Structure 1
Amino acid sequence: MLENLSSQPLSLSYGKMHFYYLLKRKHFFANSSNNKVRKKFWGREDLKKVLLFLLPLCLVTVSFFYVKASTYDNKGRKYYEEAGQILWEIQTEEKIIALTFDDGPHRTYTADVLDVLDKYQAKATFFIVGQNAEKNPELISRMYDEGHELANHTYTHPLKTNVSNLMKEIDQTNATLYSITGFKPTLFRPVEGQFSDAMIDAIAKEGYKVVMWSWHLDTLDWKSPGVNRIVNTVLKGVKAGNIVLFHDGGGNRAQTVKALEQILPELEKQGYRFVTVSELLEVQMAHKKMEKNSSVESLLSTLLFMVLSLYVKVILTIF
């Protein structure tokens, strides 16, 4: 057995040797006629020594697996949602949804989208490309004045970029929107929904929140798939708390406009209310606050029950 231990790390070998030594001594004293010696060896103090020896080994083992799990834990949707850095949708029973539009404003199609939204008194969030905003400042003003939410979608809509350049694009778009409306957005959507851990960290440090969309509600309207397909994607998939992705810029969006004419009245009939992303976040915060209060109340109730149970047990024991 000692030969096998020679290939083990020093700390591990020492632990095995010590444990082997204890086993040998136990065997010796178990066969001894001297009960006093046996009782002395396995007395309370010796048991404490054994436990004190094993405890550090257990702690080291647990710590090793914890550090290993933490080190190789890849960031994903769950991580970012719990950190509050990225939003895809919210969990709620309230029939509210957020309509979002990317890549605008476009002189023709954004104006048409705004007309449809106004017709059904629906609010939306527009993820704006900065250079398009500079070309159509009147549309930005109209969005803002009509109660829609302005959000950031970079300045030039680059398909690939580094973190440093991305932050410059975000700042430039915010500066443009501020010069037109006096409002600086705090919501950002990455181009094509692509992001990296470094990108999210940099954006979060500047106080922005990244907004994606409910994956099943990407209308793919930028492909011009047909009005019916856009309509069916939304009506068949929508659920309370969802975020829908449309486009009002970047190409011919006539199908999007026509689809909205069917989608909005139908969802209105189903009892849905159209809110901005920030309003969606407010509902989420309210739900979290209620859940937290509920958890505290549950804990207090449990503690009270335990105290009362102990009190009753003591009373019964005495009497």
Structure 2
Amino acid sequence: MITPVRRLAAVGALGAALTACGTSPAPPAPPAPPAARPAAPAPASPSPSAAPSRPPTLAPGPAGLTPVFRNGPRTLGKTVALTFDADMTADQGPRAAAGEHFDNPGLIAALRTLKVPATVFMTGRWAEEYPDQARSLGRDPLFEVANHSYSHYAFTDDCYGLPTVAADRMRADVERAYTAFREAGVPDAMPYFRFPGGCYDRRALRAVSGTGVTAVQWDVVSGDAFATDADAVAREVLDGVRPGSVVVMHCTRSAAPATERAVRTIVPELRRRGYRFVKVSELIGAARGRP
């Protein structure tokens, strides 16, 4: 929702939203989880020469740092990836128990009705709170589930008021999210990671490099965080999309109440303009020169 090293520009609306994500101290150190993501299983009846299918990732950056992806090739044609952050911080359980909705089943139903593939960047805490929905998304070929950290605490200082994760616990926070996904019934979450708040620096890239993820940012900010004007959100997206764009939106009713209505405007209009909706994995595959 930072220059290559610090912060994507034009995240004002989103920054205001993320400020409200929590102000508690950093979460307790989690137990050491298993590896970030197991290798994808082979097809049910592979031929002798078939190899297991693996999601595309980018090669590590200089000094082995985690690679960062922002958009697909502009020459790919009119493709666009809608991404939705399923945010819930580690300390928001009492708010959920009191009736606050961090999910958005109406949005997911709309995407299904409109037949729009999408990538959902999910926090581990969200998967724990809504395991049935997490499992449903993970099993639906229309969607892919990716990692948005366990705690939704920042990986840098000064990230829109978010609490921060200590450097020596950043990798564990990413891995703990994958553990939460598996426990919710989503064993094949993608090896893609979105930094909470979109905030990262060289230290953060180095800390999560051992997980093998590709960090996924965006080039279009929808401004849906805490927005109530769905038409304004739709205009932000429609004015910003270019071939290969990655759009950042939210899958959280309490934090983004207008998103579903905006999507119902955005999707038919972009299709009218000739755009095709894809998942992030397709754009990353294209960036690597895959078909």
- Please give the range of the TM-score, normalised by the shorter of the 2 chains: 0.5 to 0.7
Where does the alignment leave 5 or more consecutive residues of structure 1 unmatched? 1-73, 290-319
Match of 2:218 in 1: 213
Three-state SS of the structure 1 residue aligned to 2:231 is: helix
Letter in 1 for 2:252: G
Q: Does 1:275 align with 2:278?
A: yes
1:156 partnered with 2:146: no
Which structure is richer in relative contact order (CA contacts within 8 A, separation 6 or more)?
A: 2
Question: Is this contact kept in 1: 2:73–2:283, CA < 8 A?
Answer: no
Letter in 2 for 1:99: L
C-alpha distance in structure 1 between counterparts of 2:101 and 2:109, whole Å = 13
CA RMSD of aligned residues (A): 2.6
Hey, what does 2:55 align to over in structure 1? none
Structure 1 length-normalised TM: 0.61
Equivalent residues of 1:97, 1:242 under 8 A apart: yes
Q: 1:119 aligns with which of 77, 92, 113?
A: 113
> Would the alpha carbon gap of residues 256 and 81 (structure 1) be closer, same or farther in structure 2, given more than 3 Å must change?
farther
TM-score (norm 2): 0.66
Identity across matched positions, percent? 25
CA contact (8 A) 2:171 2:211 kept: no
Q: 1:253 Cα deviation (Å)?
A: 2.6
1:99 aligns with 2:82: yes
| Aligned with residue 254 of structure 2, among 237, 251, 260 | 251
Aligned pair in 2 of structure 1 residues 82, 172: CA closer, same or farther (>3 Å)? closer
Against the structure 1 CA distance between its residues 121 and 184, is the aligned structure 2 distance closer, same or farther, given a 3 Å change threshold? closer
Instruction: Select 1:88's aligned residue among 61, 64, 70.
Output: 70
- Structure 2 SS opposite 1:171: helix
1:143 and 2:143 matched = no
The answer as to whether partners of 2:103 and 2:252 remain within 8 angstroms in 1 is yes
SS of match in other structure, 2:277: strand
Number of aligned pairs? 211
1:1-319 paired onto structure 2 within 5 Å: 76=5, 83=61, 85-93=67-75, 94-104=77-87, 109-147=103-141, 148-158=143-153, 159=162, 160-179=164-183, 180-214=185-219, 217-224=220-227, 226-249=229-252, 251-286=254-289
Structure whose alpha-carbon radius of gyration is higher = 1
Structure whose residues are more often helix by fraction: 1
Residues of 1 paired with 2:119 and 2:101: CA distance? 17
Give SS of 1:164's match. Answer: helix
1:176: how far off?
Answer: 1.1
Q: Secondary structure, in 3 states, of the residue corresponding to 1:257?
A: helix
**Contact 2:101–2:254 (8 Å) recurs in 1:** no
Residue 146 of structure 2 contacts residue 190 of structure 2 at CA under 8 Å; is this kept in 1? Answer: yes
Cα displacement string for residues 164-219 of structure 1 (whole angstroms, at most 9, x for unaligned residues):
222121111101112212224311001111011011022223211100010xx211
Indicate how the Cα distance of structure 1 residues 139 and 222 shifts in structure 2: closer, same or farther if over 3 A, else same.
Answer: same
Using the alignment, how far apart are the partners of 1:131 and 1:208 within structure 2? 19
